[in-house]
Structure 1
Amino acid sequence: MNLHWTETASCVSVDADLFFPLGDETVHAEQIAEIRRVCAACPAARRCLEWALTTGEPEGIWAGTTPGERRRIRAARKAPSAAVTGTPAAPAATASTAPAPVSVKVSGGRAR
């Protein structure tokens, strides 16, 4: 049986609205910290983060990362290497350095 990564996500039984805090991320630091605790133990976190980075997901917390954190990760991945330009490129963040939300379909909630 080959499960889609969303089916093994730790947040599968969590209300999806939790992963979409309204307003500025600094205002919702406690909610984001709660989400990151869920994502920290998630077996699908790496795949969740890659999905959010690949699709350019502009909202929500995915693999424990905020929209701003994902923008910085994408920018770091696009930065030219130091060997080509002679200037240091920003280090690429990985799932191990960035906490992780997860995209799952929750009953009665919206798809994540």
Structure 2
Amino acid sequence: MMRNSHDAPKTLQRPAWWGDKGVCRDQDPDLFFPDDWRRGPGKLDAIAAKRVCGRCPVVEPCLHDALERGETHGVWGGLDPDERLQLKYPAQRDPAQDPGGGEEAGDASQLLQEAVSV
């Protein structure tokens, strides 16, 4: 299915994009980009954003794109920047949080499941 480009005249078309199906499109963007996702009101926003991601049909492609782009801010694909770093650098993951002995520290689906079940 083709749709109009946002940046071009209505006569130009572009392929459908997975982001068009994102549940976050109907949410306040500030929810996904709190000033401090580690504490206070920002942490509550990050938790709420992850809950939105938990209902999203395109959470996996969202996370994949965020990892490819190296996003360093905001909740993408159900993960905050610290969680995305854990995927990128699994050796940095806290062994106390990894009951599997570190073998699956980089498992995106497990980390994603933990994040969206907050």
Q: Which runs of 4+ in 1 moved over 2 A?
A: 26-29, 88-91
RMSD: 2.3
Q: How many residues get paired?
A: 91
Paired residue for 1:6?
19
Identical amino acids, percent of aligned pairs: 29
Distance 2:28 2:43 in 1: 18
Q: What SS does the aligned partner of 1:29 have? A: helix
8 Å CA contact 2:71, 2:81 repeated in 1: yes
More relative contact order, 1 or 2 (CA 8 Å, 6+ apart)? 1
1:63, 1:75 → 2: CA distance?
Answer: 17
5+ long unaligned stretches in structure 1: 78-87, 101-112
Query: In the alignment, residue 34 of structure 2 is paired with which amino acid?
Result: P
2:31 and 2:48 in contact (8 A); partners too: no
How high is the TM-score relative to the length of structure 1?
A: 0.69
Give, in angstroms, the shift of residue 76 of structure 1. Answer: 2.0
Structure ID, larger Rg: 2
Q: Which residue of 1 aligns with 2:99?
A: none
Larger proportion of helix: 2
